[in-house]
Structure formats: C-alpha cells, structure tokens
Amino acid sequence: MTQPKRKKDERAKLVKLFRTLSPGDFVEVLGYSIHSIIETELSAILGAEPYQRVDDRKNYRNGYRERKEPLNTGLGPVNLIIPKLRSGSFYPSILVHYQRVDRALISIISEAYFAGVSTRKMNKLFADLGISNIDRSFVSRCAAQIDEEVEIWKNRPLDQRYAYIWLDAIYTKIRIEGKVNSVAVLIAIGLREDGHRDVLGLHLGNRESYYNWKDFLQSLKARGLQRSELWISDEHDGLIKSIEECFPGQQRQRCIVHWMRNAQSKVSKMDLLWLLPLLKDVVGSRTKESFQLAWSELNRAAHARGKDRLLDWLDESYHEISVYLDFPLAHWSKIKCTNSLERLNEELRRREKCIRIFPDEMSCLRLFGVILQGYSEDWICGKLYLAEPVERIKETLKKPIPFEATCDGLDPCSVGYASSTGLQPVARR
C-alpha cells in the first residue's frame, strides 16, 4: 500500500536540505562524487583498495596529477586530479563520457549558430553553463567542421533533366578586406522527374550581374545539368542572357507576380485604382480562356485611357508571362511565379538576421549552405511537390490544346487574342 504522506515528508526534507546549500557547495559535492567514481574504477582495475595488501596484484598507485583544464559542468567548472600508476597509464571512463558531452555541446553550438543565434547570445549561453574564457571565434571554429560536408553537397552531381528550375537571388552583407560589401547569393531549385524538389546549388557574386549568373549556370552544367522544361525567374537582363547562352532553345517563364509590380510603375498612382483589379484578374486566372479574357480587358482599358506607354510594355511582355499556359493546369500556381523560391529566401533571411554582417565569405557559404542542404534532404525524402513527372509534361506539350474564344465581339486580330497554337499577338487596334 502506498504512503503518499510519507513520500511528501521526505521530499520536503530534501527540498529544505538543498535550500541550505550554496552554489559552491553543489560544485564541491559534484567534484567529490566524480573523484569517488574515479577511485572506485581504479580499485576495480587494480583489484585492491588504497593501502590494501593483495598477493596477486600486478600494478600499484603512484600519486596523482592535476587535470590541465577544469571539467566544465552545468554547475560550473570542477578541478580534478587523475591517479597515476607505476606502469602504464590510466584515464577515467567517466571523463571519456564528459568528452562525448563536450562534443555534443559543440554540435549543439553549431546547430544554434546555423539557427541564427548570434555570438553575443552564445557567450551568454556559455556563462549560464559555467563555461568561461571563450574567445569570439569559438563558435566559428565549432561550425567549421561542417565546411567539408557543405562543399561535397555543393559539388554533387545533378540530374540531366529537370521539369522546372526556379532562379532568384538575395543580398547579404559580408566584410571583405575591412569593408562591408553587399553580396548577391544566387540560388537555384529544381523539380526532379519523380516530382520532388531539390536545391541545385548556390553561388556568391559581388552583384547580380550577367557574369555571375553565367558562372553559376556553367557550374550547374558542369555538374551534369542539360535541360529544364521551363526556367522560372524574374526579369533580369543578365540572367536572361546567361540562360540563353548556357541553355539555348529552352523556355523561360517570367515571374508574373513581379510583372504585376512592374506594371504599376508604368502609370501614375491615380491610375492604380482601375489598373490593380485588372492586373489581379490576369495573375489570378485559372483557365486559359479566363487569362485571355482578362488580358483583353486590360488592353481595352489601357487603350481607352490613352496609356500608350503601358500598352507598349504589355505587348513586349506578353510572351514572357504566358509561357506557363501551355503546361499542365495543376502546375500553374507553382510555375507562373518564383514564390516557391521566395519562401526559401525568407527562411534564409530569418536565419541571417541575428548575424547581420558575415565576417567573411566562407561563413556566409557555411550558414546558407547548411540551411539549403537541410532543405534539399527534407524535400527529396518528403512528400511530392508536384505529382506529374517530366514525361507527362512533355506529353502535354506535344498535344495541341484547342482554344475557343468565349467573349462576344472579341476580334481575333486584337492584342488580347493569342491562342495556344502559337499565334503572335498583333498590334492593337
């Protein structure tokens, strides 16, 4: 039969006893306990207690030596002495266990560093753990063990074909030669044939220029990439030119969300009252017919208000934003914009927020590389991003999709009428 009252009284006595002890007393008790464990282990090895005479013993104690560094524990540093032997050496197994704890702590520090915890907060963590005399570069040295793994991941072979590839860049600050520079981090993610996403790689450049994009795409090509059914990116001259040179003849979709933002700069703020709803109708179209109707209405509204600058820009950008219409309908929400990559960029921003300025390029590659590597592994082993593989996409592209205009009075020669058969939109009326 249990006796809860008796257990409660015993617990109260223990609490009262511990309240009378100071923090230094806890450290002293812990040190005495560890020393007792060490002596007990040595006695078991020798087969004799201290000063005990045993006939068949083969070795003897030979004094003590001080441990060079205190043992760092959660209660604080503990100074220990290690027994010595006349022949051979002895090292307590409990200290080997603490060495494993130290290695685990280093791993935790690395993980915390990758999670965006600043060095200042790290030092506070060290103080709470009773660890002192930690220099400012300790966290970076702990994280450096990941460099080799990240380098292997960055240079791994790629598949020859991907269904879709999204390209984008974010900017971060890195201290180079004593100056803080804004550096572009170029990132590419791709949809594999099995329907899973994968982070293809990253590249640092002094800016988002043609040469940096070309170097990045050339590195992807050198790792085995040959073709993507569709490249999705923002409108950047250097990026477009590098895709055309490195992967000629392959289709590219301009991010339609960025396109909508760019369209707003072509008119005054007063014109946004009528323009924004029409742009949203184009971007939010769920069928090919609704896209063509929304496009036609946008052109008619702009023509009626005499917005020639906007109309010229719409004529030039139509073929860049309408490529996704020839792909499976279920994929449209993913491939008509770079939102898939923007979400990843937000996560990188969140992690680098505490760091603000990277001390060098290697630290930037280390942090971004390990985050992207983690996402890559999770995506490959996780659920499908898009169900239809490349083969079904190519089959869809081979089959002509008939388009029938459903709006009354729509002139097939007007700007808004561009069928899936590849007809070019002609000049507006």
Long-range contacts for 196-200 (Cβ within 8 Å, ≥24 apart)?
Answer: 196/379, 196/380, 196/382, 196/384, 196/385, 197/340, 197/379, 197/380, 197/385, 198/376, 198/379, 198/380, 199/344, 199/372, 199/373, 199/375, 199/376, 199/379, 200/158, 200/162, 200/165, 200/225
**pLDDT at position 22 over 50:** yes
What's the mean pLDDT in 329-350? 90
d(CA 107, CA 128): 17
Of 335, 342, 334, 344, nearest to 375 by C-alpha is 344
Q: pLDDT averaged over the chain? A: 79
Q: What integer pLDDT is reported at residue 202 of this predicted model?
A: 93
**Band of residue 427 on the pLDDT scale cut at 50, 70, 90:** very low
**pTM greater than 0.95:** no
CA pair distance 258, 264, nearest whole angstrom: 10
Token pair 């450049």 is found at: 205
DSSP state of 157: -
Q: Give dist(CA 161, CA 154) in Å, integer.
A: 18
The pLDDT value given to residue 201: 94
pLDDT band at 424 (very low <50, low <70, confident <90, very high): very low
Residue at 240: amino acid letter: I
Q: What pLDDT band is residue 215 in, cutting at 50, 70 and 90?
A: very high
pLDDT at 29: 74
For residue 247, CA distances in Å to 126, 225, 241, 250, 358 come to 51, 10, 10, 6, 33
Q: Are 30 and 79 in contact (CB under 8 A)?
A: no
Residue with tokens 């008509």: 336
The stretch 253-259 carries a mean pLDDT of 93
Q: Hunting for tokens 């209405």 — which residue is that? A: 297
pLDDT band at 91 (very low <50, low <70, confident <90, very high): confident
Q: How far apart are CA 158 and CA 224, in angstroms?
A: 5
pLDDT over 70 at 12, yes or no: no
Q: Of the spans 22-36, 42-56, 268-282, which averages the highest pLDDT?
A: 268-282
Residue 73: in which H helix or E strand, if any?
strand 71-73
Model pLDDT, residue 401? 42
Examine the pLDDT at 124 and tell me if it is beyond 80.
Answer: no
Backbone phi, psi, residue 150, to 5° = -65, -40
d(CA 218, CA 235): 20
In this structure, of 8-12, 280-284, 302-306, 410-414, the range with the lowest mean pLDDT score is 410-414
pLDDT given at position 141: 65
Q: CA angle, 160 as apex, 155 and 161 as ends, to 5°? A: 125
Q: Confidence band (pLDDT; 50, 70, 90) for 343?
A: confident
Q: Which residue has the higher pLDDT, 148 or 406?
A: 148
- Asked whether the beta carbons of 152 and 137 are under 8 A apart, the reply is no
* SS3 assignment, position 368: helix
CA-based radius of gyration for the chain: 33
Euclidean distance between CA atoms 174 and 357, whole angstroms: 5
What mean pLDDT is predicted for residues 251-261?
Answer: 93
- What distance lies between CA 187 and its chain's CA centroid? 10
Quick one: how many helices (H) and strands (E) in the chain? 16, 10
Residue 207 CB neighbour total at 10 angstroms: 13
- Span 164-188, pLDDT tens digits: 999 999 999 988 888 888 999 999 9
- What is the structure's pLDDT at 62? 87
Residue 7 has pLDDT above 60, yes or no: no
pLDDT score of 221: 95
Looking at beta carbons, which pairs linking 42-46 to residues 24 or more positions away fall under 8 Å?
Answer: 42/83, 42/90, 42/92, 45/90
pLDDT of 353 > 70? The answer is yes
Confidence class of residue 223 from pLDDT cuts 50, 70 and 90?
Answer: very high
134 falls in which pLDDT band (50, 70, 90)? Answer: low
pLDDT above 70 (res 231): yes
Q: What is the pLDDT of residue 374?
A: 87
How big is the CA angle at 24 (ends 22 and 27), to the nearest 5 degrees? 120
User: Which tops the pLDDT comparison, 403 or 68?
Assistant: 68
- Residue 359: predicted pLDDT: 82
